Amino acid sequence: MTRLIIDTDPGVDDAIAIAIAALHPGTDLLAVTTVFGNVGLEKTTRNALRILELCGRSDVPVAAGAAMPLVHPQARRDSSAHGDDGLSGHADVLPPTSREPVAGGAVALMASLLEQADEPVTIAPIGPLTNIAALLAAYPHLKPKIERLVIMGGALEGGNVSARAEFNVWSDPEAARRVLVADDVPSVLVPMDLTYRCAVDTEWMERLAASGRVGEALCALTPEYVRHYTGALGWPGMVVHDAVAIVEAITPGTLVTESLPLDVECSFGPSRGAVIADRRRQAQIDDTVPLDVRGRVNVAVDTDIDRLRALLLH
Ligand code: BDR
Ligand code: CA
């Protein structure tokens, strides 16, 4: 049984990711914590509550976290892929809820769940890393209680929000640097290079819609999101970035990883928010200039894509 906390900014692909974990029999979803990102915090929190309601999981506590990046609040920007309400204008497809987020906030909830846990907990951050950076800074003694972080973020080759940066890392590079570079919690980074390759096609969408009430509602969120990828971007299907990371979190080993030294660009140049991964051979690194980082991060570089798409529909 995987004990899991999802830290998220729903988001259409976040919605699919949360539903996968909420309905997975081998997963004990301890909490969903929210962060600004695709849209502002109030909307991401409301969306998280409604997605859990859809899944019949109003037992899962939701807590709101950071509304702004750690160091540079002015740099915040909504994603262009998820519409004004974060769910492509279809938030009302989800059942309303009178449930409120728990008092105390995301970091306090994560800390108390870790504190109480008698077995390590997996945390899956699928939005900007602000809450996770704050958690690790405020409660360093709880790091051993974290089994691993399975993070959707970063791009090894080109970005989506800028030429070099992926949205989640770009949204708070200082937080991402703190989590990926300065901290020593075991992590799997699931970059967009891989999530793009796992795009799902129309047949997959039809199977999701036919899977029942939840699948049908999730599908109803997606027409504009699908068009975002298949239209001007010319992608062959819908990219469900966060769901790929969640499948790895609940089915460890689904993704093939490579252990790489990496850093995050935090300057205000054109590469702000870029993940710099050193894929040179060790001999070449030894001979030249290494990245000045403490450790390595397991970066997801490959998977059996058909199996992954089937797991997304479990
Ligand atoms: C990431 O950014 C968001 O728009 C998605 O939800 C995903 O977490 C992809 O770059
Ligand atoms: Ca997200």
Tens of pLDDT, residues 74-127: 777 888 888 899 999 999 999 999 999 999 999 999 999 999 999 999 999 999
Q: Are 36 and 128 in contact (CB under 8 A)?
A: yes
Token pair belonging to 266: 């935090």
Count CB neighbours of 53 within 10 A.
16
- Angle, CA 51 vertex, CA 56 and CA 103 arms, to 5°: 90
Q: Distance (Å, rounded) from C-alpha 194 to C-alpha 300?
A: 7
Helices (runs of H) and strands (runs of E) counted in the chain: 13, 9
- Please identify, by atom number, the ligand 1 atom nearest to the C-alpha of residue 160: 10
72, 82, 241, 314: the active-site residue: 241
What is the whole-number distance in angstroms between the Cα of residue 290 and the centre of ligand 2?
31
Q: Distance (Å, rounded) from C-alpha 96 to C-alpha 172?
A: 30
Strand pairing partners for 62? 32
By most ligand atoms within 8 Å of CB, the mutation choice from 9, 35, 85, 238 for ligand 1 is: 9
| CB distance 39 to ligand 1 below 6 Å | no
Q: Distance (Å, rounded) from C-alpha 169 to C-alpha 74?
A: 15
| CB distance 183 to ligand 1 below 6 Å | no
Residues 27-62: tens digit of each pLDDT: 999 999 999 999 999 999 999 999 999 999 999 999
Q: Band of the pLDDT at 240, cuts 50, 70, 90?
A: very high
Q: Distance (Å, rounded) from C-alpha 148 to C-alpha 151?
A: 9
Name 29's Cβ contacts closer than 8 Å, sequence gap at least 6: 4, 5, 6, 21, 22, 57, 60
User: Could you identify the residue written with the tokens 């901290």?
Assistant: 183
| CB distance 166 to ligand 1 below 6 Å | yes
What is the whole-number distance in angstroms between the Cα of residue 190 and the centre of ligand 2?
12
Q: What is the pTM of this model?
A: 0.96
Q: For position 77, what pLDDT does the model report?
A: 83
72 is annotated as an active-site residue: no
pLDDT winner (highest mean) among 73-82, 157-166, 280-289, 290-299: 157-166
Q: Distance (Å, rounded) from C-alpha 66 to C-alpha 206?
A: 36
Q: For position 82, what pLDDT does the model report?
A: 87
Q: For position 306, what pLDDT does the model report?
A: 92
Q: Which residue has the higher pLDDT, 132 or 288?
A: 132
User: What is the sign, positive or negative, of the torsion defined by CA atoms of 290, 72, 271, 257?
Assistant: positive
Percent over 90 (pLDDT), the chain: 83
What is the whole-number distance in angstroms between the Cα of residue 48 and the centre of ligand 1?
15
Q: For position 34, what pLDDT does the model report?
A: 98
- Please identify, by atom number, the ligand 1 atom nearest to the C-alpha of residue 152: 8
| CB distance 241 to ligand 1 below 6 Å | yes
Per-residue CA distances from 182 to 174, 176, 260 (Å): 10, 9, 14
